[in-house]
Amino acid sequence: MTKPTSKHAEFSCRLGCGACCIAPSISSAIPGMPNGKPSGTRCIQLDDNNLCKLFGKPERPKVCLQFKACPSVCGDNQADALENIYYLERLT
DSSP letters spanning 35-86: T-B-TTPPPTTB-TTS-BTTTTSTTS-HHHHH----HHHHTTSHHHHHHHHH
Q: State the total domains in the chain.
A: 1
Q: For residue 85, what are the domain limits? A: 19-91
Which residues, other chains included, contact 82 with Cβ-Cβ below 8 Å and sequence gap of 6+? 19, 22, 23
Q: What is the mean pLDDT of residues 36-48?
A: 97
23 is a domain residue: yes
67 is a domain residue: yes
User: What is the reported pLDDT for 9?
Assistant: 58
59 is a domain residue: yes
For the chain, the average pLDDT equals 91
10 is a domain residue: no
13 is a domain residue: no
4 is a domain residue: no
Dist. CA 44–CA 59, nearest whole Å = 14
Q: Is the pLDDT of residue 6 over 60?
A: no
Q: Is the pLDDT of residue 54 over 90?
A: yes
What single-letter DSSP state applies at residue 23?
Answer: S
pTM of the prediction? 0.84
